Amino acid sequence: MKKIIICATQRSGSTLLCKELEATGVLGRPKEFYLKAATLSSKAEANDFIAMMTSAGTTENGVFAVKLMQDQWHLVEKAHSEFSTHLVSDISKKIFNKPKVERNAQSLYDFYKDALWVYLQRQDLIAQAVSREMARQTNICHAVPNGASKAGLGAKHGHCLEGSELIDYNLQTHYDFDSIFKHVQAIKREEQLWQEFFSAYKINPFSLSYERIVTAKAYLLDLAGKLNIHLPHKPVNSSLLKLANEVNDEWSQLFRQDLQTRHCMI
């Protein structure tokens, strides 16, 4: 089985990436499966979860794909090792005092060490932070055309709108410098931990940016090529609509102005 793991942070375009990989029919069916690991309470449940995840995330050609946010590392640990006995491993961690990133992500590496690691970032850090704050205030994370399927989109982190509901959906929100600044710092910490993880395990990920995947789809050919997979000749349509509007743009502009006024660095 070939594996793809998408390494991301919230509001970086990861849902779009997942939808486009799935739409190819040959690059897995990536989702945030590990969110369901939070309620696991036994080894049997963990085994069932891993089997379910593997089945649900695999396309007919045997490619399994999954999406993981940095703040979900503990869920990988829970699914793959919390209910197992790893006495020697646990002792070695204590004796050799492994770096924190390795102690917290060993199970992640062990299960996906032979995978294609896809590292997705958003170049516009402020836009990503604004998107997080907008999602927090509206509890809306995605939008699809009228009548399109919302399967997998109305999840833990927010609801999904239809196109006709997008008009003025965020007019009741309010600009909050402090909240956006906290989001910026959180994103930076999460990105730093991903980079420390890649460095610790000598992983050279296939890097993508939100800005690249929204403008051109050639990246799918590059990604498939890494796995020696031939993409079928068919259009890729994610069925996602853009949420960001003039309110997002206004907040980004205000935030940049406030950074200068307050003499803050990011």
Spatial distance between the Cα atoms of 57 and 176, rounded to a whole number of angstroms: 38
Q: Mind giving me the DSSP string for 198-231?
A: HHHTT---EEEEHHHHHH-SHHHHHHHHHTT-PP
Spatial distance between the Cα atoms of 37 and 108, rounded to a whole number of angstroms: 14
The one-letter code for the residue type at 238 is S
Question: Dihedrals φ, ψ of 198, to 5°?
Answer: -60, -40
250 is catalytic: no
Determine which one of 32, 77, 133, 191 is catalytic. 32
Whether the CB-CB separation of 195 and 140 falls below 8 Å is answered with no
Q: Are strands 140-144 and 116-121 parallel, antiparallel or unpaired?
A: unpaired
* Cα 83-85-90 angle, rounded to 5 deg: 110
Return the SS3 of 195. Answer: helix
Which residue numbers are catalytic?
Answer: 32
